[in-house]
C-alpha cells in the first residue's frame, strides 16, 4: 500500500497499516463521573475540584489487563491522556505537584501503562492537553471553567502565557525523554480563531507550536504528531483527527488522499460517566471501523476507565465483541485502505493489493452484484470460514431455463454476481474476500 502523502516528516507506514487503536481518557474527572469537561461545565474552582485529587485511589488498576483487552480487540496502539484540560498529570513530572504521585494513591500511573501496552506489542501514543485549567499562568479565556466569574477574571489578569509555554514545553520534553520510544504525540487542542471579546482563543503562538514540533521531532525522530497544534499546513501534523463524526467520503487535500484518524468514544463522552447508558452497539462499532478503513482512515476508539482503574463491563463487552469479529476478519482491516472500486448499496470495500474485501452491512437474499468486477476476480471466499463463494457473470440473453425464473434487469455487462448462502453468516459484518486477477 502506498502511504498517502501528508507533507510531513513522520513515517506513517505502520500507522496506516495498523488502522485500529485504543484511546484512554482517565484522570481526576473520572471520579466526578460527568465527563472530562466537568470542571468547566460545573464552573468549579480549584478548591471544588480538589476533592477528586484527594480521593484518587485506583486500587483496581492493572494496566496489563487494559493492554490485553486492547490487544484482544485487535487494537495495535494506545493513546493515553498524560494530562487532560484539568491539568492533572498521570506521571511523576518534576514540573508540577499536581500529579498522581501526590494523591493518596502515591504512584505514577502512566509508566506502568506504557510498559504494559508495550509488553503486549502495542505502540504508544501520548495525548497531551495544550489547554490547562490548573496551571497558575494559563491565561483565562472563554473555555476556562470560571470565565464568567468577573471578579476572578479581574484578579487573574496578570497571567503570563510565556511562563505556561515554558511549562508545556518542559513537560513535553519529559514525556519524550523519560518513557522510551513514543510513537504518537496527540495534542489537544487549538482555538485561535475564537474571540471572546475580553480574551482570544489560543493556538500556534500561545503554545509555541513550531518550537514544540521541532523539539518533538528532534527528540523522537519517528514520532507522528496530530493536527491540533495550529501550526499551518506546511507542518499540519502527520495525520488529521476528525472527532465523533463518521465521514461521508474519503478525506483528501488538493485531491490527494491524506492520513487521518477518527477518534470516537463508546458513547457520547470520553471520560467515565456512570449514568450514561447510551452505549453504541458492537455491530455499529464494527461498521464504524470498516467504514473508516474503507475511506482510508484509522479508528481510535475510546474507553474511559472507572475511578478505581478498571474498564467497566459495558466497555469490556464492546471490546470483546469487536475482538470476536477481528479474530476472523482482521485481514480485511490491517494493511487495507480505500478501494478504487465502487461497492454496491449497503456494502463497503477495503483493499490490500490484490485482495478486495466486500463488507456486507445488510445481507441480501441469494446474490450480490458487483459492478466493474466481471472477469476481474480469480477466486472468492467467505472470510469468516474460508468457504468458497461462487461467482458468475449473468448473461441477460443467457440460457432459457434461467430466464424462465429470473427476470433480469439491465445490469452493466461488467457486473460480477456472487451467490450467497441464505443464512447471514454469524458475524457483525460478514466479509467476502475477493482475489483479484
Ligand atoms: C476534544 C475535547 C476533549 C477530548 C478530545 C478528544 O478536544 O476537548 O475533551 O479529549 O476532544 O478528541
Question: What residue ranges do the domains of the chain occupy?
Answer: 13-332, 347-436
Q: What is the pLDDT of residue 406?
A: 59
Could you tell me the distance, in angstroms and rounded to a whole number, from the CA of residue 382 to the centre of ligand 1?
A: 39
What is the CATH code of the structural domain delimited by 13-332?
Answer: 3.20.20.80
34 with 94: CB under 8 angstroms?
no
Q: What is the pLDDT of residue 407?
A: 60
Could you tell me the distance, in angstroms and rounded to a whole number, from the CA of residue 312 to the centre of ligand 1?
A: 21
- Which atom of ligand 1 lies at the shortest distance from residue 188's CA? 7
Of 410, 416, 413, give the one whose Cα is nearest residue 436.
Answer: 416
Percentage of the chain with pLDDT > 70?
A: 93
Could you tell me the distance, in angstroms and rounded to a whole number, from the CA of residue 68 to the centre of ligand 1?
A: 25
Residues in contact with ligand 1 (CB, 6 Å cut-off): 25, 36-37, 188-189, 243, 263, 270
pLDDT, average across residues 237-263: 91
Q: Is the pLDDT of residue 398 over 70?
A: no
- Whole-number Å distance between alpha carbons of 293 and 330: 11
Q: Is the pLDDT of residue 2 over 60?
A: no
Q: Is the pLDDT of residue 151 over 70?
A: yes
Q: What is the pLDDT of residue 412?
A: 85
Q: What is the pLDDT of residue 27?
A: 98
- Which atom of ligand 1 lies at the shortest distance from residue 37's CA? 9
Q: Is the pLDDT of residue 396 over 50?
A: yes
Q: What is the pLDDT of residue 11?
A: 84
Fold of 347-436: Immunoglobulin-like (2.60.40)
pLDDT, average across residues 153-181: 98
pLDDT, average across residues 154-174: 98
Residue to substitute in 131, 145, 188, 271 for testing ligand 1 pocket (most ligand atoms within 8 angstroms of CB):
188
- Whole-number Å distance between alpha carbons of 245 and 292: 10
On average, the pLDDT of the chain sits at: 94
Nearest CA to ligand 1 atom 9: 36
Q: What is the pLDDT of residue 7?
A: 46
| β strands within 72-201, DSSP E | 77-83, 123-129, 184-188
- Which atom of ligand 1 lies at the shortest distance from residue 131's CA? 8
Q: Looking at residue 343, what DSSP letter applies?
A: P
Percentage of the chain with pLDDT > 90?
A: 89
Angle (CA) 115-331-268 rounded to 5° is 60
- Which atom of ligand 1 lies at the shortest distance from residue 244's CA? 12
**189: preceding bond cis by omega (within 30 degrees):** yes
Which tens digit of pLDDT belongs to each residue from 256-278?
Answer: 899 999 999 999 999 999 999 99
Could you tell me the distance, in angstroms and rounded to a whole number, from the CA of residue 256 to the centre of ligand 1?
A: 27
pLDDT, average across residues 29-58: 98
64 with 119: CB under 8 angstroms?
yes
For residue 397, with 0-12 CB atoms within 10 Å meaning exposed, 13-18 middle and 19 or more buried, which class applies? Answer: exposed
Residue with cell 487535500: 253
Amino acid at each position: 500500500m502506498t502511504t498517502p502523502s501528508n507533507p510531513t516528516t513522520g513515517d506513517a507506514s505502520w500507522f496506516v497499516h495498523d488502522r485500529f487503536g485504543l484511546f484512554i481518557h482517565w484522570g481526576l474527572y473520572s471520579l466526578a463521573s460527568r465527563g472530562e469537561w466537568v470542571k468547566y461545565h460545573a464552573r468549579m474552582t480549584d478548591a471544588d475540584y480538589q476533592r477528586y485529587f484527594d480521593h484518587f485511589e485506583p486500587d483496581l488498576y492493572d494496566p496489563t489487563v487494559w493492554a490485553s483487552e486492547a490487544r484482544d480487540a485487535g487494537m495495535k496502539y494506545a493513546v493515553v491522556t498524560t494530562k487532560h484540560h484539568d491539568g492533572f498529570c498521570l506521571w511523576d513530572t518534576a514540573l508540577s505537584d499536581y500529579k498522581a504521585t501526590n494523591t493518596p494513591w502515591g504512584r505514577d500511573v502512566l509508566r506502568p501503562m506504557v510498559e504494559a501496552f508495550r509488553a503486549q506489542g502495542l505502540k504508544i501514543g501520548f495525548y497531551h492537553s495544550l489547554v490547562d485549567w490548573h496551571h497558575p499562568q494559563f491565561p483565562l479565556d472563554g473555555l476556562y471553567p470560571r470565565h464568567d466569574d468577573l471578579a476572578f477574571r479581574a484578579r487573574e489578569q496578570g497571567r503570563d502565557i510565556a511562563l505556561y509555554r515554558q511549562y508545556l514545553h518542559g513537560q513535553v520534553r519529559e514525556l519524550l525523554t523519560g518513557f522510551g520510544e513514543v510513537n504518537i504525540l496527540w495534542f489537544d487542542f487549538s482555538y485561535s480563531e475564537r474571540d471572546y471579546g475580553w480574551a482570544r482563543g489560543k493556538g500556534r503562538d500561545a503554545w509555541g507550536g513550531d518550537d514544540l514540533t521541532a523539539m518533538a521531532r528532534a527528540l523522537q525522530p519517528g514520532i507522528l504528531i496530530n493536527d491540533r497544534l495550529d501550526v499551518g499546513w506546511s507542518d499540519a501534523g502527520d495525520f488529521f483527527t476528525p472527532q465523533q463524526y463518521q465521514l461521508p467520503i474519503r478525506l483528501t487535500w488538493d485531491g490527494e488522499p491524506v492520513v487521518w484518524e477518527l477518534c470516537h468514544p463508546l458513547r457520547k463522552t470520553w471520560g467515565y460517566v456512570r449514568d450514561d447508558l447510551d452505549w453504541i452497539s458492537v455491530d455499529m462499532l464494527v461498521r464504524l471501523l470498516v467504514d473508516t478503513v474503507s475511506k482510508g482512515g484509522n479508528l481510535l476508539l475510546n474507553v474511559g476507565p472507572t475511578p478505581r482503574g478498571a474498564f467497566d463491563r459495558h466497555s469490556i463487552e464492546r471490546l470483546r465483541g469487536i475482538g470476536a469479529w477481528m479474530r476472523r476478519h482482521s485481514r480485511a482491516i490491517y494493511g487495507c485502505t480505500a478501494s478504487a472500486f465502487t461497492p454496491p448499496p449497503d456494502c463497503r470495500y477495503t483493499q490490500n493489493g490484490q485482495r478486495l474485501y466486500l463488507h456486507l452491512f445488510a445481507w441480501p437474499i441469494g446474490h450480490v452484484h458487483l459492478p466493474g468486477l466481471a472477469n476481474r476476480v480469480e477466486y472468492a471466499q467467505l472470510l469468516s470460514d474460508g468457504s468458497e463463494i461462487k461467482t458468475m457473470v449473468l448473461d441477460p440473453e443467457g440460457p432459457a431455463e434461467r430466464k424462465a425464473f429470473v427476470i433480469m434487469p439491465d445490469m452493466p455487462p461488467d457486473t460480477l454476481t456472487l451467490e450467497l448462502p441464505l443464512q447471514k453468516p454469524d458475524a457483525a459484518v460478514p466479509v467476502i474476500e475477493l482475489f483479484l486477477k
